[in-house]
Amino acid sequence: MGSITRGLSNNITTGGVILPAGITNASVSAVTSFANASGGTLILLSTQTASASANISFTTGLDSTYDEYQFHFINIHPATLNSVLQYNFTTDGTNFNVTKTTTMFRSFNNESESGVLDYQSSYDLAQSTSDQAITWDVSNDADACTSGILTLFNPSSTTYVKHFIHQSNGMHSNPACFTNFSAGYCNTTSAITGAIFKFSSGNIDDGVFKLYGVKKS
């Protein structure tokens, strides 16, 4: 007991502040939640790693615990050249076909410095149950991928429609850099209980998807 006390005291200042040396991966690895975390803190709820996967779906974790949820997709590599990463939502955990109205624009610049900023009307949805594009065409070169964040607001509301926004960046086969922005709302007063990600063609060859809850203030 004495050694534990001495070790702790060595990492606390006379003012009661814990020094950085007192906090390590080993000391926090078993923590699953922070009851007193301040508002805006990201709480990791689940992680899924794609491996030649037809899709990645989240059917648990979206509830009334948080008012805001974020899906982070990291280094997502397509099996098929110039396929588009897409997303959709569900109210029953099985059918990913929620009615949505959306808008989308992109910025684009290739490696020879020829760029454009434009509205992508062909990727908009108007009262549609189709999947929403989250990227432009992604290269399937060995070093190519796309990453970004999709934010969903108050999915458990049974009063209002559910708004969402996203930003992503990826590598096109041009080769070029593109940044896409989409936003919209699920036109339903039913609670949104899950989300799905998939490419317009072919599998998700590789990549990590994470679901976070944003701590209420």
Question: Exposed e or buried b for every residue in 92-126, given b needs 16+ CB within 10 A?
Answer: eeeebbbbbebebbbebbeeeeeeeeeeeeebbbe
Is there a single domain that holds both residue 70 and residue 107?
yes
Is there a single domain that holds both residue 107 and residue 155?
yes
Is there a single domain that holds both residue 80 and residue 179?
yes
Is there a single domain that holds both residue 95 and residue 144?
yes
Give the pLDDT confidence score for residue 216 in this predicted structure.
82
Residue 64: phi and psi, rounded to 5, are: -85, 5
Is there a single domain that holds both residue 16 and residue 105?
no
CATH of the domain at 159: 2.60.120
pTM for the full predicted model: 0.82
Is there a single domain that holds both residue 23 and residue 110?
no
- How far, in Å, CA of 71 to CA of 67, rounded? 14
Is there a single domain that holds both residue 99 and residue 10?
no
Give the pLDDT confidence score for residue 31 in this predicted structure.
52
Is there a single domain that holds both residue 83 and residue 114?
yes
Give the pLDDT confidence score for residue 188 in this predicted structure.
98
Is there a single domain that holds both residue 52 and residue 26?
no
- How far, in Å, CA of 166 to CA of 71, rounded? 9
Q: Can you give the residue range of the structural domain that contains 210?
A: 36-214
Give the pLDDT confidence score for residue 173 in this predicted structure.
87
Query: Along the chain (217 residues), what's the average pLDDT of each consecutive run of 10 residues?
Result: 57 63 56 58 97 98 96 98 97 97 96 92 96 94 96 98 97 93 97 98 98 90
- How far, in Å, CA of 190 to CA of 200, rounded? 27
Name the domain count of the chain. Answer: 2
Is there a single domain that holds both residue 103 and residue 198?
yes
Is there a single domain that holds both residue 84 and residue 147?
yes
